[in-house]
Amino acid sequence: MNAPIALPYRIGRVAWFALIALQLAWHGWLARPEHLPTWLVLAVTVVPLLLPLTALPDLRRALLWVGILSLFYFCHGVAEAWSAPTEKWLALAEIGLTLLLIVALGAGVRRRKPQG
């Protein structure tokens, strides 16, 4: 993209990095896992969000991959909100960030005019 980054992609990028920060804070500090090593939980939750950084020069492609990955985080947020009342606010934040990311990606898609 040679043109300035469109607003939806900026919002998507902010939601992406906020989701990474949320995972680090949630599983590394605020509600550390009880039965698994912290490093393992962080590896499972943070590393997948870091993989699209390899496609960062093409922001649309990177956000597409993050959008696909965010479906896992949405499901995780719903499951945690339902089953862990003490972590419900973290789960709702995760749900909100994933929805913001998906809406931003949808808003950033260019619609083609039908040829006729």
Angle between helices 38-50 and 7-25 (to 10 degrees): 170
For residue 71 the two structure tokens come to 């479906």
For the stretch 86-109, pLDDT in tens is: 999 999 999 999 999 999 988 887
Tell which wins on pLDDT, 44 or 113: 44
For residue 23 the two structure tokens come to 């995972």
Could you tell me if 110 and 17 are in contact, meaning their C-beta atoms sit under 8 angstroms apart? no
pTM for the whole structure: 0.87
